[in-house]
Structure 1
């Protein structure tokens, strides 16, 4: 299984975590993820196209022989049956990261998330300062050093 297949599977699982789907819908998602039409997928499962159509529309449930056969194609049968992704489908480094995260204290989890989120592209930061006179200043970007701004001029001489 290559990284593209894993990314597609994780994307499918993440997309459906909060949405109720039927067994037939999940089976169809897996078929499409693998890039097969109903006839090709049915042949791999040892059934006819019409049976595949019935599985996907929910009028018929697949048997264990069919599920075992399509599993050899890379179908995540746990996902098809329950809607949850097979944890074994993660690459070893991601599985290790997940295992260690689950064992970590709340403080360590917060630090790990902060490090991962901090590595993201910074949001655009913009500050505008205006005074009562015709002066304007615009700062764009991340402000990382302490700064002082003096707005106005010197006192008038008498």
Structure 2
């Protein structure tokens, strides 16, 4: 999110020391903290599970809409290949981001 530790602590209503203990995995944040950070864009699902919150399908960018239309226009076997390819890239990104 680009926030400094002190800024996150202030938004979350905790001390900088408490924020540091969250980051070192020594303590767990409570719901009020997560709710406050969510209000400024924190992906709470990612913090809790390590999995990103999926973007709602209804909010596709123009480029994404073009990709979906092109995907739907190709034969089923090719769609399957595209899905495998995209999954392989997503798996690689997930593996390298941990």
CA-to-aligned-CA distance 1:95-152 (integer Å, 9 cap, x gap): 994xx88xxx8515146x2xxxxxxxxxxxxxxxxxxxxxxxxxxxxxxxxxxxxxxx
Report how far residue 87 of structure 1 moved: 0.8
Aligned with 1:69 (options 36, 47, 70): 36
Q: Is 2:7 the counterpart of 1:43?
A: no
- The number of residues matched between the two structures is 76
Report how far residue 88 of structure 1 moved: 2.9
Describe the shift of the 1:90–1:56 C-alpha distance in structure 2 as closer, same or farther (beyond 3 A).
Answer: farther
Which structure features the higher share of helix residues? 2
Look up the match of 2:79. 109
Which sections of structure 1, spanning at least 5 residues, go unmatched?
1-33, 114-158
Query: What SS class does the counterpart of residue 42 from structure 2 fall into?
Result: coil
Aligned with 1:81 (options 48, 58, 61): 48
> Counterparts of 1:38 and 1:77 in 2: how far apart (Å)?
17
When the two structures are superposed, what TM-score results if normalisation uses the length of structure 1? Answer: 0.40
> Counterparts of 1:48 and 1:91 in 2: how far apart (Å)?
38
RMSD over equivalenced CA pairs, Å: 3.3
Choose 1 or 2 for highest CA Rg: 1
When the two structures are superposed, what TM-score results if normalisation uses the length of structure 2? Answer: 0.62
> Counterparts of 1:66 and 1:72 in 2: how far apart (Å)?
10
